[in-house]
Structure 1
Amino acid sequence: MALDFSLTDEQELLVESIKEFCERNFDEDKIVEMYNNRGASDELTKAYLETGMGLMGIPEEYGGIPADRVTLGLLTEEISHYAGCVTPFMNNTLAMCDMIDFGNERQIKQCMEGYMSTGKPIFSLGFSEPGAGSDNQNMSTVTTKQADGTYRLNGQKTWVTQGESFPYVFVVAKDEDPSRENRKMSMWLLPKDAEGVSVSKLHKRGQQILPFCEMFFDDVVLTEDMRVGKEGEGFINLMKNYEMERCLVVAMVLGCAQAAMDDAAAYVSKRETFGKPIASYQLIQEKLTDMEIALRNTRNMLYKTLWKIDRGESVRIDSALLKRYGCQQCAWVASEAMQIFGGLGFTTELRVGRIWADLRGCQFAAGTDEIMVYIAGRQLAKAYAQD
């Protein structure tokens, strides 16, 4: 079968629209303001929604715009590339898709109405815990059913992205028994201002547009209508969308790394030492060459994996390999961009240092580098086993 790496006419128009949107809405002053405010404004997220880009990937019956996975990867990469920072858009769309996949019609309607009014979900995702990040089975947040038919929620969630900003939280908790052996979990949508819910800010090295926090649940009363999806199926549901999430995380870091490369590669022809541009030095040429190889390899892996998802093929190994390689290499590209700028790259005068800090955090998001080895390594051993 012939391979075609060209963009469709629609995808080319999308890239042009993304570039125009970012030129209007992202400059360094605005990005610094978003970092200082720990989030994007309603005006920005609503403007993104109104372009139609914020509706891509959401099913048409809920007001969305159907899009294949390759196009969603392109959207995520180019937004990050032209914005030059980690944006909230991919996280917002993924959260809405989770609710559409698992919620009932009433819950979906409530969440879509909120999303359409601001371009932001009304809820954050409370999945990770201090003792259960990649090891979801070690989750200990638990609900216990009461005699009156209500439930009591107790436990703690951490790294809750945008949890301090949104009025609801989408929580995964074990049913009845917090022990490691219990794999029965359920999902719940509850108001953040419910009695017994408290929030504590966490401060990251980067990604300030996507702040996260800790949440504590102390005998929070839940009712059956707050349940999202079927009882006991929360763990299974939790695993369903990780592969696509990992692809989009890599698309985001790839776009940011490309922005760092743009800056560094342009700088080497302007910066002179010992009477000539540093672009003439072989060591600088080697850096640019290896950075470009890392970007191209990541891009090739990303779009092949997304292409396989569109074809209905398994990407369990592919997505883990992509996540491990892509996040490591893109953070390295940003680090090398800082090195090319020298001491200037380590100041806040340039964006390459901020980009590096943003990308370093993505080596933890959606599964750490080490967990990707655990996921892929076992499957590779089986795939290569001799009969």
Structure 2
Amino acid sequence: MDFKKTEEQELLLEGLSELIARECPEDYVKECYEKHELPTKFNKALIDNGFGLLGIPEEYGGTPCDVLTLMLVAEETARLTGAPFGVGGNALQVDDMLAFGNDEQKKITMDYLMQGRMAFCLGISEPQAGSDNNAIATTATRRDGKVYINGHKTWITDATRSPYMLCVTRDFDSPKPPAQAMSMWWLPTDAPGVKMEPLHKVGHVTSSLSEVYLEDVELEEKDLVGREGNGFFQLMKNFEIERILMAAMSLGLAEAGLEDAAKYANQRVQFGQKIGNFQQIQEKLSFMEIKVQNMKNYVYKTAWEKDNGLDVQLSSSLAKLYCAQAGFEVLDDAMQIMGGLGYMEDCRIARMWKDSRMHRIGGGTDQIMVHIAGRQILKKYSK
């Protein structure tokens, strides 16, 4: 298989580099982190210049592209900004709505997207239901022609900034297994009965995180997203691409960290010589380069498989598992090479180090990736 970039991909990445240099310099990234604000200006610039609309159908104003191109853009955005600013999340949201949403939900999603904003957050995790989705306890009860949502969601990203939540509920009266008794609802986050409390993360501070309490939140039947009882499978639809996307972002951050550390090793003088001359530093850089190249191969190969219609349940899980771990290890070594400077809040290595650690938790923990991959490996060699 040929991983050489096409001329179109080269031109696309060149344009992205120019846009980031103009609209998202390091001073702007630092400002967003200091204020704990989304990079709204940059997101709007991505939309205005077509990058935020990649992977979205033409009829919705977007530009269709293959998964590999989407991952190249996500990787390059993370590498050049040194931040996990999303490119690709828009396509995932629109795909969800195109597949399962009604006309009103689709229109609202696109209207917000064109403003550089996300229309909805995902209401999945609960205090007792993190990796174990089957333990979801939020309910949707019908009475007097209305639907009432009751429950407690936690670790909800950007709930305070999203006008809607895709809220997953479970029907405890259903005789079917939990995975077949879940539904998804289009829930306005400003509705009566919705209460939020902020949570404070170690990294990824430009996005908010919240506890969300739902007490008799009144909805209509039209607020059902997709089919009743099919919520879990709707949720799973885009997980494979999301895992490749997180792997690509981990790769981009690792590349940025390797570059920063190598440049520092070429300049920092100790004991009368540049620290890059010391074998222990060279050893670290060598293994960091190996990990980055392995990550790159894993991301590109998995994206290529997805584009060619191959089953990527195993490879996407392994790509996410390996890249999340290896990416953090590269940034940890980059911090070690930079020493005290790397541990300073003002240094982007420290920022990337904290952000990268989340990739081993969000989107499916390391342990869940092992669980998914392990079953597939056993199945693969069962004959």
TM-score (norm 1): 0.95
Q: Trace 1:103-252 onto structure 2 (pairs within 5 A).
A: 103-116=101-114, 118-146=115-143, 148-177=144-173, 181-183=177-179, 184-252=181-249
Pairwise CA distance, 1:179: 10
In structure 2, which of residues 346, 368, 372 is the aligned counterpart of residue 375 of structure 1?
A: 372
Distance 2:318 2:136 in 1: 25
Q: 1:357 aligns with which of 340, 350, 354?
A: 354
Question: Which residue identity is paired with 2:218?
Answer: V
Q: Secondary structure at the match of 1:124?
A: strand
Amino acid at match of 2:68: V
Q: Displacement, 1:176?
A: 4.9
- Give the equivalent residue in structure 1 for 2:343: 346
2:258 — aligned with what? 261
Counterpart of 1:159, as a letter, is: W
CA deviations over 1:131-177 (Å, ceiling 9, x no partner) = 2122111111111111x221110111112111111222121111354
CA distance in 1, matches of 2:248, 2:269: 34
Counterpart residue type for residue 102 of structure 1: F
Unaligned runs of 5+ in 1: none
Worse-superposed segment, 31-40 or 314-323: 31-40
Query: Which residue is 1:94 aligned to?
Result: 92
Displacement of 1:41:
4.5
Deviation, 1:124, is 1.4
Contact 1:199–1:215, Cα closer than 8 Å, also in 2: yes
Instruction: Provide the secondary structure at the position in 2 that maps to 1:164.
Output: helix
Cα contact 1:123–1:168 (8 A) shared by 2? yes
Percent pairwise identity: 45
AA matched with 2:108: Q
The change in CA–CA distance for 1:92 and 1:200 in structure 2 (over 3 A counts) is: farther
The aligned amino acid for 2:100 is: F
Q: Aligned partner of 1:122: which letter? A: A
Secondary structure class of the residue paired with 1:213: strand
Compared CA separation, residues 173 and 86, structure 1 to 2 (3 A): same
Amino acid at match of 1:223: E
The separation in 2 between residues aligned to 1:129 and 1:90, in whole angstroms, is 26
Counterparts in 2 of 1:53 and 1:284: CA distance versus 1, 3 Å: same
CA shift for structure 1 position 380: 0.6
Residues 365 and 96 (structure 1), Cα distance of their counterparts in 2 relative to 1, 3 Å cut: same
Residue of structure 2 equivalent to 1:62: 60
2:88 partner SS: helix
Per the TM alignment, residue 195 of structure 1 is displaced from its structure 2 partner at its CA by 0.7
Matches within 5 A, 1:269-284: 269-284=266-281
Structure 2 counterpart of 1:139, one-letter code: I
Aligned-partner residue type, residue 320 of structure 1: S
Question: Following the alignment from structure 1 to structure 2, what is the Cα–Cα distance between the partners of residues 193 and 109?
Answer: 19
Q: Within 2, Cα distance between the matches of 1:159 and 1:17? A: 35
Structure 1 range deviating more: 100-109 or 318-327: 100-109
Asked whether the 8 Å contact 1:161–1:211 carries over to 2, the reply is: yes
Spell out, residue by residue over 1:190-243, the C-alpha distance to the aligned partner (whole angstroms, 9 max, x if none). 211111001111110001122221111001111111111111110111111111
Taking a change above 3 Å as real, the CA distance of residues 179 and 373 of structure 1, as seen in their structure-2 partners, is farther
| Local SS of the residue matching 1:347 | coil
Distance 2:154 2:97 in 1: 20
CA distance in 2, matches of 1:115, 1:162: 15
CA contact under 8 A between 2:29 and 2:39: conserved in structure 1? no
Please tell me whether the aligned partners of residues 55 and 88 of structure 2 are also in contact (alpha carbons under 8 angstroms). no
Looking at structure 2, the residues matched to 241 and 94 of structure 1 have their Cα atoms a distance apart, in angstroms, of 7
**How big is each residue's C-alpha offset from its partner over 1:217-274, in whole Å with a ceiling of 9 and x where there is no partner?**
0011111111111111101111111110000011111111111111001111101111
Distance in 2 between the 1:106 and 1:359 partners?
Answer: 36
Deviations 1:260-299 (A, max 9, x none): 1110011111011111111111111110010011011011
Alpha-carbon offset, residue 348 of structure 1: 1.5
CA contact (8 A) 2:168 2:182 kept: yes
> For residue 315 of structure 1, what is the aligned residue in structure 2?
312
User: Relative to structure 1, is the Cα distance of residues 271 and 343 closer, same or farther in structure 2, using a 3 angstrom cutoff?
Assistant: same
CA distance in 2, matches of 1:13, 1:78: 13
- Opposite residue 12 of structure 2, the aligned amino acid is L
CA RMSD, 1 decimal: 1.6
- Report the equivalent of 1:331: 328
Q: d(CA) in 2 for partners of 1:323 and 1:131? A: 24
Where 2:118 maps in the other structure, the secondary structure is coil
> Structure 1 residue runs of 4+, over 6 Å off?
none
Q: Relative to structure 1, is the Cα distance of residues 300 and 41 closer, same or farther in structure 2, using a 3 angstrom cutoff?
A: closer
Distance 2:235 2:71 in 1: 21
Higher alpha-carbon deviation: 347-356 or 42-51: 42-51
Aligned-partner Cα distance in 1 for 2:191–2:24: 36
Work out the CA distance in 2 between the residues paired with 1:200 and 1:180.
34
Q: Superposed, which structure 2 residues align to 1:46-85 within 5 Å? A: 46-85=44-83
Using the size of structure 2 for normalisation, the TM-score is 0.96
Please state how far the C-alpha of 1:92 moved relative to its aligned partner. Answer: 3.8
Any stretches of 5+ residues in structure 2 without a counterpart? none
Measured after TM superposition, the shift of residue 189 of structure 1 is 1.1
1:24 paired residue number: 22
